[in-house]
Structure 1
């Protein structure tokens, strides 16, 4: 199957969430930027559950900056894939560089504010997962911040990643599970353009105007 775009994926995922979520009280959606933000926006519109973002940064080897070997959160929570063959020094350098990037993203996307999730059920949303390490780091990070329950919700995922992410998440909701060899999320979208910062912030602004943006308790 193929989704037309992230809007369609979000709306279909919203239906799957409604079927699998027992209650919506004390529930918040946190999108992994940037691709997860449009999906989360439409999930939020369909379910009425407020959303914001959870920031992570991919860890990449110094000699291959496009190859993700893991991910890190702003508090230093990280995961490295089993196939990452780096020396201890290279790994520490890669983690340090990624952590700096995560903190920069937090400042840029959330004005440096970490998500308030104490005693909340948190649904982590992305436009899909492949290995799942980025989502898993987000889940671990949110648990450390006091989330009562963490749920992963994505439009598409490979069958063999489900058990892996269940090591972190209490529940996994995936609209379409696929066992295609050499899985890539973009294979399942007709329009899988790279979401720009401007596009992402437009969704955030729309959500705020529509009362869908999650805000820390006690803040205006």
Structure 2
């Protein structure tokens, strides 16, 4: 059980200290990943950025990822038999949402280049893993040196899934409880992180690490 995201971030950062001398970018999943990503980035003296990616869900089962999308790329992995009309509408809808987030998060800065970097993808926890799977696919397109997935808590089945992905160099998870039902179950305090707070963390962290 973690006290809150700060506690989880401190514990996770300790496990990542060996990357401190590498050319690191910490990539947080909005919005719950930002408090944890901020602590990791400060500890490693690395820039913090956000993962503006989103999975495309199957029309009959939205949690089942059939692909991933960013503002620049679309990757379809399990879309056989899915109507093109559905895909076209989802791409437009998701891109609009990602565009809105881009305008929020990048008012005073540009996204970090991930090429040849050690990219550490962080979140406050994982349930299905589909959001991080989508992020991994799209980060890999930018040709980083390494992709590290670092999370406080997740089901063991999801961690095993990450470990089979060739693009992932290493997966670090602090807790893999057998009775996993939801991420918030393993935090004493697990309030929502607002966009305003997430943007504040992003800007403050990168100002400190300049």
User: TM-score range with shorter-chain normalisation?
Assistant: 0.7 to 0.9
Query: Alignment RMSD, CA only?
Result: 2.8
- The verdict on how the C-alpha distance between 1:79 and 1:102 changes in structure 2, with shifts beyond 3 A counting, is farther
Establish whether residue 137 from structure 1 lines up as the match of residue 134 from structure 2. yes
SS of 2:21 mapped into structure 1: coil
SS at match of 1:34: coil
1:3 and 1:81, CA in 2 relative to 1: closer, same or farther beyond 3 A?
A: farther
Q: Secondary structure at the match of 2:201?
A: helix
Within 5 A, what are the aligned runs for 1:160-171?
Answer: 160-166=157-163, 167=165, 168-171=167-170
Q: Secondary structure at the match of 1:178?
A: coil
> 5 Å matches for 1:8-47?
8-18=7-17, 21=18, 24-47=21-44
Query: Structure 1 residues 202, 78: closer, same or farther in 2, change over 3 A?
Result: same
SS of match in other structure, 1:155? strand
Tell me if the contact between 2:38 and 2:48 (Cα under 8 Å) persists in the aligned partners.
yes
Match of 1:207 among 180, 202, 205: 205
Q: TM-score, length-normalised on structure 2?
A: 0.83
Contact 1:61/1:94, CA 8 A, preserved across alignment: no
Gaps of 5+ in 1: 213-220
What is the distance in 2 between the residues matched to 1:189 and 1:63? 32
Q: Which residue of 2 aligns with 1:157?
A: 154
Q: Offset of 1:23 from its aligned partner?
A: 5.5
Q: How many residues align?
A: 205
Answer whether contact 1:151 1:170 (CA < 8 A) is retained.
Answer: yes
Cα offset for 1:194? Answer: 1.0
Instruction: Provide the residue aligned with 2:115 in structure 1.
Output: 118
Match of 1:4 in 2: 3
> Scaled by the length of structure 1, what TM-score is found?
0.80
1:83-140 CA-to-partner distances (Å, cap 9, x unmatched) read xx96553344233311222232223212494430111110011111111111122122
Q: Is the CA contact 1:57–1:99 (under 8 Å) kept in the aligned structure 2? A: no
Task: Note if contact 1:14-1:42 (Cα within 8 Å) is conserved in structure 2.
Answer: yes
Tell me if 1:76 matches 2:67: no
